[in-house]
Structure 1
Amino acid sequence: MSIETVAKKSKVLAQAIRQLREALEETQEGMARRLGCTLSGYIQWEKGRRVPGGVWVLKMMALAPDSWSRRLFQEQVLAGSPQPASPAPRTRPVARSASTTPDQRRRAKSVALEAIEILFELGEAGFRPADQKLKTLADSLNRIAGDFSRASGLKT
């Protein structure tokens, strides 16, 4: 791929990132906070100086205000992304509470299903890292479900 092609694709991706921020009526600082990245890193993505990795792109898609906006962002990302190169972000351990309320459980389910849908849509569009993440997620969920069913005496 030529340098000109990479530069053009980077600009398309940067424009998609900026349009998403504007659709959310968010500042650059607010987007960085919502994504959990540094402000300088976010600005580099929005200006097309760096390309966000696949995990960051998925986080951005999850912020899209509706399915139409998410689909538009996805199409722009696929048009503008040669192959995201940034390393995956470090994740922080999730603090565990003694109990989970029904509302927290419903919210967690909603977030998980939305993430699965995003990964599926990206995979359908040919974004190979999303296919790999979806398979890894499915394998992990099957292991976890198996652990719980054995612990509770249920059959899987």
Structure 2
Amino acid sequence: MKNILVLLIFLLLSLNACKQADLQQQLEACHAELLEKSQEQEILQIETPLVHTVYLKIREDISPENLAGLIEGVKTLNQIQGVKHLKTGTFENLGDERALAEYGLVLQMEFQSEADYRSYQQDSIHLAFKKNAGPLLAGPPATYDFIKK
């Protein structure tokens, strides 16, 4: 009976050690995955140093449907090779007198190089977007380009 009790205690301790080893392996795997994701994010920051921002003056009489279509048109620019991290949004009035309130829509994207930017400017998707967006705008777009530091 004493031998069986010792054997049971030994088995329980062995099982507990196995569980802890398994947890340690899982922890190490999670740590490795987190490190890999972190490195990927750093690479993305390095690979897309050129930021292109476009401010659009929207016609005051634009319908909600046309505005939604314009936003969908902006999103098509993401199909262009070289365009990274495309973002768009409408103006949000937060009460800041300095805000560029005359621009109702802004879009921003990043490029790995000036060559990618130049290619984007000539891409048929971009040219079609400009043609379709024109009648919905109250004036020419304003742009601001910069290199991340």
The TM-score, its normalising length taken from structure 2, stands at 0.30
Greater RCO, CA 8 A, separation 6+: 2
Task: Please identify the structure whose Cα radius of gyration is greater.
Answer: 2
Structure with a larger share of its residues in strand:
2
